[in-house]
Amino acid sequence: MPARPHPPTMRALEHIAHDEHAALRRAVMTTIALSRQPRLLTGWLAVPSSALSLAAGVPRPHRWVRPHGVQAGPLRAPAPRWRAQQHSRHYALRASASAHEEGLGQELCGRPARVAAITDPHLHFWAPSTHAWLRAVLPGGEAHDGPYGRFAPIARPYTPAMHCAHLAPFAPLTKTVYIQANMHATTGSPVAETAYMQGLADATGHPHGIISWAPLDKPEEAGAVLDQHAKFANFRGIRFMLDFHPSRPELCQADSGAYMADGGFLRGLRHLEERGLIFELQLCAVQLKEAAVLAAKLPKLQIVLNNAGFPLKGEFDSWRAGLAKLAANPNVACKIGGLGAYDGGFDLEAARPHVLACFELFGLERCMFSSNLPVDLVDWPHGPPSARWDTYLAISKGAGLTPAQLGAVFSDNAVRIYNI
């Protein structure tokens, strides 16, 4: 039986994957260079030296390196001997995180674009070597038997090439915004995440915007951290997760529900406001009304609500009431994505009233669709990632959006809000 032709688009993705490996070394060296400047980076640099070897195609034992005072020798990778066929084939095969993504190459070549272009304002590029919590969710890891154990199937590298492949059946992906994924817990330094993602962007073109983390609850430290983040061209703002539910611990990302009422946290947010940066607001639906009060205190701060406030099944009315309070603040925009993340993912009919409520309350000019990939690979079981965007388009067309309005919610609004 003759071998199946290799789709040209997948061949192009292999070249991108090659560049992504090269970006590992670039990002590490950028971080090392920063560490040699006083007070820019502290603690352990959590990009393993094996990452440098991977960029060069040469195996090396996994070990950690300390930036301050380290000798240059151990950080030098051997002369590049890129095993193009082996590694690019590996990444092409791993571009799918579930069985329904088989045949992706054919989809890339055969389906017309649904809209002119996508700008995705919410995604995560990661790997277990850089985002250590991913190792904990694997079988045998300390978090595998908890709520985060569901992430075990996606606890592996997720790269720009993979992301382009997942969305290509719907429309061309033109720009992206990386949202922090707790890389600072691995590195001990918030700035390392920005440095790493800037290196990835310089090598591959993605992401165009970087949302990182800073200790906003410690305003005496936050300002200096923000100034160091700002040294990187693609840095746009901060996400400090506030998700807290009084009776559903599996929904909690924060250790307390008191942050929004804390004066110190408010001062931390003012550092963002003063610098013209974005605050990514992630919380539970029960916190929306409190967030509305907080947003009113910071009228010049651009706030972007993540995942439409995580609506839950059976709680539409209370979610909509809280969303209306928040949307009354003109400085708040809404990312529509990850709907039903904790309830098996909303299909077309379940998603429709939630999408339409966002359109109505925020107005189309403050709404933008987002993928929440690779998380959606496990949180939305109704088809491949492109199919979820098909549901967004069906709802939008059903609401009578014009081509210009479709362009706004699928791309232009995100470009404007994130200044990318």
pLDDT tens track for 349-372: 999 999 999 999 999 999 999 999
Read off the pTM: 0.77
Question: pLDDT value at position 145?
Answer: 87
Token readout for 327 is 């949307």
* % pLDDT > 70, the chain: 73
Question: Do residues 319 and 311 make contact, with C-beta atoms less than 8 angstroms apart?
Answer: yes
In the block, residue with structure tokens 């529509």 = 336
> Which range is most confident: 20-24, 35-39, 306-310?
306-310
Q: Which DSSP helix (H) or strand (E) runs through 86?
A: helix 84-93
Question: pLDDT value at position 17?
Answer: 41
Question: pLDDT value at position 113?
Answer: 74
Question: pLDDT value at position 75?
Answer: 28
The residue among 112 and 127 whose pLDDT is bigger is 127
Q: Tell me which residue of 359, 294, 367 sits closest to 334, measured CA to CA.
A: 367
Overall average pLDDT of the 173-179 stretch:
97
The DSSP call for residue 45 is B
φ/ψ of 397, rounded to 5, equals -65, -35
Question: Do residues 385 and 371 make contact, with C-beta atoms less than 8 angstroms apart?
Answer: yes
Q: For residue range 94-121, what is the model confidence (pLDDT) as tens digits? A: 333 333 333 333 344 345 678 999 999 9
User: In Å, what is the CA distance from 334 to each residue of 261, 348, 408, 412?
Assistant: 22, 19, 13, 14
pLDDT band at 178 (very low <50, low <70, confident <90, very high): very high
Question: pLDDT value at position 41?
Answer: 32
Q: For residue range 320-337, what is the model confidence (pLDDT) as tens digits? A: 999 999 999 999 999 999
Q: Tell me which residue of 242, 181, 187 sits closest to 212, measured CA to CA.
A: 181
| Alpha-helix runs per DSSP H in 235-337 | 263-275, 288-296, 316-327
Q: Which DSSP helix (H) or strand (E) runs through 378?
A: helix 376-379
Question: pLDDT value at position 302?
Answer: 98
Question: pLDDT value at position 215?
Answer: 97
The 3-state DSSP class for residue 131 equals coil
User: In Å, what is the CA distance from 271 to each residue of 139, 197, 222, 283, 309?
Assistant: 41, 22, 7, 20, 24
Question: Do residues 241 and 214 make contact, with C-beta atoms less than 8 angstroms apart?
Answer: no
CA distance 172 to 149: 32
Q: For residue range 404-414, what is the model confidence (pLDDT) as tens digits? A: 999 999 999 99
Residue count of the chain: 420
The DSSP call for residue 101 is G
CA dihedral 399, 172, 122, 387 (to 10 degrees): 60
Question: Do residues 190 and 184 make contact, with C-beta atoms less than 8 angstroms apart?
Answer: yes
Angle between the N-to-C axes of helices 219-229 and 190-204, in degrees from 0 to 180, rounded to the nearest 10: 20
Question: pLDDT value at position 16?
Answer: 39
Q: Which DSSP helix (H) or strand (E) runs through 342?
A: none
* Count of CB atoms situated within 10 Å of the CB of 62: 11
Q: Which DSSP helix (H) or strand (E) runs through 208?
A: none
Overall average pLDDT of the 83-100 stretch:
31
Question: pLDDT value at position 111?
Answer: 59
Question: Do residues 191 and 198 make contact, with C-beta atoms less than 8 angstroms apart?
Answer: no
**Confidence check: pLDDT of 71 > 90:** no
Overall average pLDDT of the 304-330 stretch:
97
Strands (E), 43-127: 118-123
The 3-state DSSP class for residue 118 equals strand
Overall average pLDDT of the 161-180 stretch:
96
Question: pLDDT value at position 249?
Answer: 87
**Confidence check: pLDDT of 8 > 80:** no
Question: pLDDT value at position 148?
Answer: 84
How, if at all, do strands 278-281 and 302-305 pair?
Answer: parallel
Angle between the N-to-C axes of helices 160-167 and 8-35, in degrees from 0 to 180, rounded to the nearest 10: 140
The residue among 205 and 9 whose pLDDT is bigger is 205
φ/ψ of 404, rounded to 5, equals -65, -40
pLDDT band at 54 (very low <50, low <70, confident <90, very high): very low
Order the strands of the 367-369 sheet from edge to edge: 118-123, 173-179, 209-212, 235-239, 278-281, 302-305, 332-336, 367-369
Question: pLDDT value at position 388?
Answer: 95
pLDDT band at 253 (very low <50, low <70, confident <90, very high): confident
Give the burial string for 103-127 (b: 16+ CB within 10 Å, else e): ebbebbeeeeebbeebbbbbbbbbb
φ/ψ of 111, rounded to 5, equals -105, 135
Mean residue pLDDT of the chain comes to: 79
